[in-house]
Every structure is written in structure tokens, then in C-alpha cells.
Amino acid sequence: MPSIRDVASRAQVAVSTASAALNGTRPVAEATRQRVRQAAAELGYRPNLLARGLQSKRTRILALLFPAPHSGFGLTEMRFATAAAEAAGELGYHLLLSPETGDPIEELRHLTGLGLVDGVVLMEVSLDDARVEFLLEAGVPFSMIGRTREPGPIDHADIDFAATAGDAVAHLAGLGHRKLAFFNLSTGTYAAQYGPAIRAGEEFAAAARAAGLAYVDDYRPGSAEEGGQAFERLIEAHPDVTALAVMDDHAAVGVIAAVARRGWRIPRDLTLMLVLSSARVAEMFHPRLTTMEPPSAELGRLGARMLIDRLRGDVPPQGRLMPCRLVPGDSSGPPRDSTARKETGGMGS
């Protein structure tokens, strides 16, 4: 059996460098890492990961807890997962995909009891999350993509909802809109204390207030049908709303259909934007919608990296918030006088 010394010799690097390149224990230049890997492959070197795991009590495997998504397409969740797996791979770790199919605590107990994973990355965190309590009590290292109400000293990477709402409202106010509406995620999602729903709701209200705009956020449609109905009720109650931000993709489909039924056009009669949807989803709409695109890949990478930092040493807790990126589509425009808008009703588009 070839040894790590043989690999180092063939790759013309120090043994410690060869080890770091294969094990990810510290950063190694990409060219060096490739050379060491190549040498290991040519020699048929097998690091015997399991024996090393037994010895060090470390397996270099992380679990990503992957619940059924609350809403939307799951594209954001997939970007978290693949980016976390990529970042883990670059640092010599492997990512286990652990779907939550039953009682999450029971499943976490089982998973962490196996001795298989060094730590856990949590996704879809609610404000009061029982999984966090369990992991803290069990002493299992973990990080969060998302965050609880008060994450305190727990490593987490999440969306900066305040900056996101500020940028979205500035975009709309800059076009001249004076009264906005915000459709949050479905009532059920909101009731489950799903962090993004609660935080986006609070921060959009605060941003509109700070910008001196009139603001309506009484609606939480979770489907195309509910989106259409919510839009009808909104315009009935607030005919002077000229811009609408929507969290749920399917609700946006219903809004667009309801706008067309009135004989209105987007953006002439209504500026419509998505919140927390990727540009790829926003492009599916006609017209292409403006969206606040979440930094999904960045958050996935950060979630994995923070956990690996934690496993490697006694680093201070890390909390990183990143804003969504405004991706302008063809659905943003200046407001039209609401009287003029009414007169176009029924004329078709």
C-alpha cells in the first residue's frame, strides 16, 4: 500500500502539504492540490477514511437537514444544498443530504446518534426552532442557513431583510410610487413562524414607513387563485395602490391574470415585483418580473464554511446577513394616475 509519504514524494511537496491537500485540514493552492490528487490517483493511494475517522472521532461528513420546502419552487433550497456541498468539498468535507420526512427531533436524534456526522447544517429555520434546542442540549456542532428569533452565539448565514426591503422600497419610491402593497407568504407559513415570512413582513413595513409611503400588507395569498382574489380585494379597498411586491410565485401568477382581466397592463397600470424569487423564476413570467433575488449560493457556502470553521477550532460565533439583489425586469415603471387607469378597464391589452 502506498503511503502519504509516497504521494508527497511523487507530487514533490512536503508530507504535511500532501496531507492538507487530501484532507482539507488547511488551505492549499489549487495547482498543488491538483498535483497531489493526481499523484495519489496514480499511486492508487487510499487514505482509509474510516480508520482515520475512528482514530480522530471525526468523519468529515456534515449533514444538511433538508425539509419539504415551505413554499415556492424549491430552486432556492437546491442552490443552498449544492453550494453547501461544493464549499464542503473544497474544504475536504462531504455533505450528507438528510431529508426530514417525519418527526424532525426523532430524526435528528437518530442521525446524530449514528456517529456518522461531525455536525449539522439546518435549513428552513423557524423563529422558535425545536431542532436548535435539541442540538444545543446534545452538544452537536451546527450552523443555520436562516436564523431563530435570537440566534445569539449560534453560527448563521441569513438574508438581510432590512437591506432587502430598503432596496426594494427605494426602487419603487424612485419610480414615483406613493402607495405600495405587500403580499406575504401564505397564512399557514406565516403562522408557522417561518423566519423569512415574519422578517420580510416586518422589514417591508418599516422600510415603507421610513420612506414616507402609504402601505398595505393585509394579504397572504398562497396560490394563484388566492393571489387573484387578494388582488381584487386590494384594488377594491385601495384603488390608489400602484405598486405590489409579492413573496409567493404562484400568487403572482394569479395577480397577473387578474390584472389582465381588468384590461390593465403591467407596468403601465401596476408595477409588480417578486421578493425572494430567483431571476430564473422571474424570467418565466410575461412580462419578465422585477425580483429581489436571494443570495442562495452564498448562503449555502457560508452555512457549510461556518460549521467547518467551528469544527476546526475555537473560533468566535459568526453571523452573516446578506441582502437580496435587485434584478430589474419589465414589470417596473412609473405610476399612472389611478383615474386614468380606471378608464382603460375592459379595453384589452
User: In the complex, which residues of this chain contact a second copy (CB under 8 A)?
Assistant: 37, 40-41, 44-51, 53-54, 59, 61, 64, 66, 73-75, 77-78, 81-82, 85-86, 89, 94-99, 101, 106, 109-110, 113-116, 224, 249-250, 253, 256-257, 260, 280-281, 283-286, 288, 348-349
**CB of residue 69 vs a second copy: minimum separation in angstroms?**
9
C-beta of 218 vs 283, nearer to a second copy: 283
C-beta of 286 vs 325, nearer to a second copy: 286
**CB of residue 82 vs a second copy: minimum separation in angstroms?**
5
Beta-strand pair 325-327/290-293: antiparallel
Long-range contacts of 281-285, Cβ-Cβ distance < 8 Å, separation of 24 or more: 281/72, 281/73, 281/75, 281/249, 282/327, 282/329, 283/329, 285/252, 285/253, 285/256, 285/329, 285/331
**CB of residue 164 vs a second copy: minimum separation in angstroms?**
22
Q: Tell me how far apart the alpha carbons of residues 118 and 62 are, in angstroms, rounded to a whole number.
A: 6
Q: Using alpha carbons, list the distances in angstroms from residue 3 to 54, 250, 315.
A: 19, 57, 32
**CB of residue 70 vs a second copy: minimum separation in angstroms?**
14
Given a contact cutoff of 8 angstroms between Cβ atoms, the answer to whether 274 and 249 are in contact is yes
Place of cell 474544504: 91
Given a contact cutoff of 8 angstroms between Cβ atoms, the answer to whether 271 and 287 are in contact is no
C-beta of 138 vs 237, nearer to a second copy: 138
C-beta of 64 vs 185, nearer to a second copy: 64
The residues, any chain, with a CB within 8 Å of residue 145's CB and separated by 6 or more, are 80, 84, 121, 122, 123, 125, 156, 157, 158, 299, 300, 302, 303
216 φ, ψ (degrees, to nearest 5): -130, 130
Q: Tell me how far apart the alpha carbons of residues 218 and 198 are, in angstroms, rounded to a whole number.
A: 13
C-beta of 53 vs 328, nearer to a second copy: 53
**CB of residue 6 vs a second copy: minimum separation in angstroms?**
14
**CB of residue 210 vs a second copy: minimum separation in angstroms?**
33
C-beta of 75 vs 326, nearer to a second copy: 75
C-beta of 67 vs 319, nearer to a second copy: 67
Which of these, 118, 127, 133, 162, lies nearest to 146 by C-alpha position? 127
Neighbouring-strand partners of residue 130: none
**CB of residue 202 vs a second copy: minimum separation in angstroms?**
28
Q: Tell me how far apart the alpha carbons of residues 91 and 96 are, in angstroms, rounded to a whole number.
A: 15
Q: Tell me how far apart the alpha carbons of residues 64 and 111 are, in angstroms, rounded to a whole number.
A: 11
**CB of residue 193 vs a second copy: minimum separation in angstroms?**
23
C-beta of 37 vs 178, nearer to a second copy: 37
